[in-house]
Amino acid sequence: MKETQLLKGVLEGCVLAIIKRQQVYGYELVQIMRDYGFTTIVGGTIYPLLQKLEKQGLIKSKELTSPDGPNRKYFFITAYGEEQLMNFEEQWNSLIIKVNRIVENEESE
């Protein structure tokens, strides 16, 4: 299975978690994701995601001055976004337990 396909739903939670820790702009976010090992992540997959999260009110953006060139668009998490992130973490934790149980069972057979 392709990693990107498996990743689709999880990616939003990851992006939220990163933005909760620090305000980011597009390029920076892609680099952070890559540093965590998501080496196949490209800008093109991140932009629609940011857009979607912003439309849903989970994050908000603000133009801040940047040392080089015009203002840059930075993203911040909203209170609603933090709430949804907590939901995601809960669901994720219960999901890995279930998935691991199945996968480990398979290995021991």
Partner 1 sequence: MANSSAEQLVEQNNHLRELLSKENKAYYEDILIYMRTLGLFYNELETEKQLMMILQDILEAQKHGESAESFFGKHPKELVDQITKQYDRPSWKSIFKMSGWLFLISSLFVFIGSFTAPLLQINIFVLSMNGVFSIALIYGVFKLIHVSIYMKAKLPKFIQFFILWLISMLSFGVFFLIQFYAPKQGIVKVGPPIDWILIIGVVLTAVLYISTKKKREFYGALAFILTLGIFGLLFRIPQTREYLQNDQNQIYMMLGVILPFALFILINLFTLWKMKDDQKA
Interface with partner 1 (CB under 8 A): 25-27, 30, 42-45, 47-48, 51-52, 55, 62-66, 69-73
| Cβ nearer to partner 1, comparing 56 with 94 | 56
Which DSSP category does 99 fall into? H
Q: Is 57 left (phi over 0), alpha (psi -120 to 50) or beta?
A: left
| Cβ nearer to partner 1, comparing 50 with 77 | 50
**Nearest distance, CB of residue 102 and partner 1, angstroms:** 31
Q: How many CA atoms lie within 13 A of 34 on its CB side?
A: 13
